[in-house]
Amino acid sequence: MLLCTRNVLAVLSALVLIATLPSTAQSGAKAPELSVEVHTATDGVAPGGTLRAALVCTLSPGWHMNAHKPLDEFLIPTELQFQPEAPLAVKSVGYPEAKQVTLSFSPTALAVYEGKFVLGVEIAAAVDAVPGAQTLKGTLRYQACNDKSCMPPVNKAVELPVKVLAKGATPAPMDGFPDAKWADVVKFDAPASPPASAPPVTPSAPKPPASSASQAAPADWHALADQFTVAGRLDGYANTSDFLAFIDAADKGERTGGNALAGKSLWLMLVLVLGGGLLLNLTPCVLPLIPINVAIIGAGARAGSRARGFALGGAYGLGIALVYGALGLVVVLGVSSAFGTINSTVWFNALIALLFIVLALAMFDVIEIDFSRFQAAIGIRGNERGSFPVALAMGAVSALLAGACVAPVVISTILQAQDLYSQGHAAALALPFVLGAGMALPWPFLGAGLSFLPKPGKWMVRVKQAFGVFILVFALYYGHIAYTLWSPSALAGGSEKGGWTASLEEGLSRGLAEKKPVIVDFWATWCKNCAVMDATVLRDSAVTARLDGHVKVKYQAEELAALPAKDVAARFQVLGLPTYVILKPKG
């Protein structure tokens, strides 16, 4: 057998646990579905006239979504937006009365929509509209939740077909239109009809679509931002003392770049992971079996030449790196859609802490599972002719059968990759591959017959135990986060209770009017460090006192790569979350 296969069960069960998080996060429930039926009050709209439409929405039983105006301003609201399409314009959008519910995870009431409900739309046609069929295209943004967890926000495409009638034609009522009282239930954002003195709606002057209060500011935030200078920025998690130093430096006019490791943390992690992979070759499950593995792939003295042995060893190492890289991609990308929702929950962090404790115990030989009796069933034989495809395959198999000395490090690396990836660092996808590359580094030289590794001995146990200590540090990290999120102060609510506003435009306007600096906290529901800082640093008495002279804005950037968050993030150079920016009015 290529490598010791102890603790394979721990490896497989842990990876299965991680890979199935989206389904377990919903306690086995089927993913929610939202159906939308479009009805119009009449068969069309005459030029210069208006048309009312109803979008009858049906959400899966057991699920709800936040109302258009949630009771907590930092929740993701339901928002219906349409793109202007000449000669039509959306005058207003209406939402139903919200239902207030209290769920197991929320001690306070929530305003939600559930079951079947109606959204209203008022459409105006330009006076010079040409008769014909038109389609208004829009987006219904919402977040579905049940009594235990929430799904990631969804942008559902909506199409509203409208027929423009001939000028002077009288629209005919449509059968099947929702009950006549629906308009009394739906509350429109704007009056049903424009004032008498208002000019007719034309294609050149459509009303801009409403924007999400929790994520978007009106278009003129650009003009407001032009009247500020960036006094300081803090990227990533910081403790209380570092956060206070960030505020002090910005107030004194000392430009700050935030966390000193913010721009280097990923590169530092890559270097550490590469070195960790190299050190895995010194563990008792690997080092004693290296000569056997060299012989099995037909390298070393059996290769015929050092160049061929070098190539065979390289193929073997490449197999290791590719397996770890592919495993990382499957797990990280497989849970990315739901990881953000569960990443900042108490139970997830506690579960990961427990998992790391178990893996560390395996490194200390407290827990041991031996599957060596299955080695014969695999039937791996020597590679007499030194075939490159066989060497590549053998490297891949050795990676899959890695035992207790390798598995905990692989799992912790994948978890860290997911953490960084969920914060917007796409390069974190390479971490598992880099770990495999570190483990593969010696193999080309070993295949060429160049022996520079130390002889096996009792010291290898100390190497394995050192990895165990390293993994215990990860367990303490996740355990600390779980405790922080579980603490009574965290359960009582976040820093939104301290006078923060969700509107970027409002914050900038107040900063100019009151001649105060503005601090913008860029956050998201999937950002674990955001939740931890909310529960600790931002509610520390020293921090709240220092921020009393600031206008405080919490900008919810759920999707950094999508508008409108992309536009705001680009303006303030936000690469990951959390990010804090302090702005000072010019002049």
Q: 390 and 284, same structural domain?
A: yes
What distance in Å separates the CA atoms of residue 146 and residue 105, rounded to the nearest whole number?
10
What distance in Å separates the CA atoms of residue 161 and residue 138, rounded to the nearest whole number?
11
Please state the three-class secondary structure of 414-472 as a single string. Answer: HHHHHHHHHCCCHHHHHHHHHHHHHHHCCHHHHHCCCCCCCCCCCHHHHHHHHHHHHHH
User: Do 465 and 364 form a contact (C-beta atoms < 8 A)?
Assistant: yes
- Residue 348 burial by CB count (10 A; 0-12/13-18/19+): exposed, middle or buried? buried
Q: In what order do the strands lie in the sheet with 518-523?
A: 228-235, 579-585, 518-523, 551-556
Q: Which two tokens stand for residue 252?
A: 């004194």
What distance in Å separates the CA atoms of residue 284 and residue 303, rounded to the nearest whole number?
26
Q: 257 and 164, same structural domain?
A: no
Q: 511 and 475, same structural domain?
A: no
What distance in Å separates the CA atoms of residue 176 and residue 171, rounded to the nearest whole number?
15
Q: Which two tokens stand for residue 154?
A: 């969804």
Q: 567 and 428, same structural domain?
A: no
Q: 46 and 177, same structural domain?
A: yes
Residue 211 lies in a domain: no
Residue 363: name the closest of 1, 3, 7 by CA.
7
Q: 272 and 165, same structural domain?
A: no
Residue 562: name the closest of 570, 554, 572, 553 by CA.
570
Amino acid at site 352: I
* DSSP H or E stretch at residue 168: none
Instruction: Assign 65 to helix, strand or coil.
Output: strand
> Per the structure, how many domains does the chain have?
3
What distance in Å separates the CA atoms of residue 158 and residue 186, rounded to the nearest whole number?
19
Residue 245 lies in a domain: yes
What distance in Å separates the CA atoms of residue 212 and residue 117, rounded to the nearest whole number?
20
CATH classification of the domain holding 161: 2.60.40.1250
What distance in Å separates the CA atoms of residue 243 and residue 539, rounded to the nearest whole number?
12
What distance in Å separates the CA atoms of residue 284 and residue 457, rounded to the nearest whole number?
8
What distance in Å separates the CA atoms of residue 87 and residue 84, rounded to the nearest whole number?
8
Residue 242 lies in a domain: yes
Bridge-based pairing state of the strands 518-523 and 551-556: parallel
Alpha helices in 252-387 (DSSP H): 265-279, 290-296, 306-343, 346-363, 375-378
Identify the bridge partners of residue 58 per DSSP, sorted by sequence position.
35, 116
**pTM, rounded to two decimals:** 0.41
Domain end point (choices 486, 508, 529): 486
Domain range for 128 is 41-188
User: Do 32 and 151 form a contact (C-beta atoms < 8 A)?
Assistant: yes
Domain end point (choices 418, 452, 486): 486
Residue 33 lies in a domain: no
Count Cβ atoms below 10 Å from residue 180 Cβ, excluding itself. 8
Residue matched to tokens 């900063």: 511
Q: Which residues contact 493 (CB under 8 A, 6 or more apart)?
A: none
Domain end point (choices 423, 458, 486): 486
Q: 385 and 249, same structural domain?
A: no
Query: Would you state the pLDDT for residue 255?
Result: 61
Q: Which residues contact 334 (CB under 8 A, 6 or more apart)?
A: 19, 22
Q: 560 and 526, same structural domain?
A: yes
Residue matched to tokens 């004194």: 252
Residue 204 lies in a domain: no
Q: 428 and 339, same structural domain?
A: yes
Residue 74: name the closest of 481, 424, 498, 421 by CA.
498
pLDDT tens track for 454-507: 666 676 677 777 777 877 887 887 787 777 666 544 444 444 456 888 889 889
Residue 197 lies in a domain: no
pLDDT tens track for 534-571: 878 888 889 999 999 999 999 988 777 777 788 888 88
Q: 165 and 275, same structural domain?
A: no
User: Do 89 and 206 form a contact (C-beta atoms < 8 A)?
Assistant: yes
Q: Which residues contact 564 (CB under 8 A, 6 or more apart)?
A: 211, 212, 215, 216, 217
Query: Would you state the pLDDT for residue 55?
Result: 92
Q: 89 and 105, same structural domain?
A: yes
Residue 27 lies in a domain: no
Residue 552 lies in a domain: yes
What distance in Å separates the CA atoms of residue 171 and residue 523, rounded to the nearest whole number?
48
Question: What one-character DSSP code corresponds to residue 527?
Answer: -
Q: 467 and 335, same structural domain?
A: yes
What distance in Å separates the CA atoms of residue 321 and residue 413, rounded to the nearest whole number?
13
What distance in Å separates the CA atoms of residue 378 and residue 1, rounded to the nearest whole number?
8
Please state the three-class secondary structure of 210-243 as a single string. Answer: CCCCCCCCCCCHHHHHCCEEEEEEEECCCCHHHH
CATH classification of the domain holding 238: 3.40.30.10
pLDDT in tens, the chain (587 residues): 333 333 333 333 333 333 333 333 333 446 788 999 999 989 999 999 999 999 999 999 988 998 988 877 667 889 998 887 788 988 888 899 889 887 755 556 788 999 999 999 999 999 998 999 999 999 998 888 877 666 767 889 999 999 999 988 999 988 767 765 565 556 655 433 333 333 333 333 333 333 333 344 344 688 889 899 999 988 877 888 889 999 999 988 776 554 444 445 567 777 888 888 888 877 766 766 677 667 767 655 565 677 888 888 888 889 888 988 888 888 777 654 444 445 556 777 788 788 878 877 877 878 764 443 444 444 444 445 567 887 888 888 777 765 545 666 777 788 777 766 765 567 778 888 998 898 888 888 887 776 655 666 676 677 777 777 877 887 887 787 777 666 544 444 444 456 888 889 889 999 999 999 999 999 887 676 787 788 788 888 899 999 999 999 999 887 777 777 888 888 888 877 788 999 999 87
Residue 141: name the closest of 154, 152, 158 by CA.
154
Q: Which residues contact 319 (CB under 8 A, 6 or more apart)?
A: 391, 392, 393, 394, 395, 396, 397, 398, 399
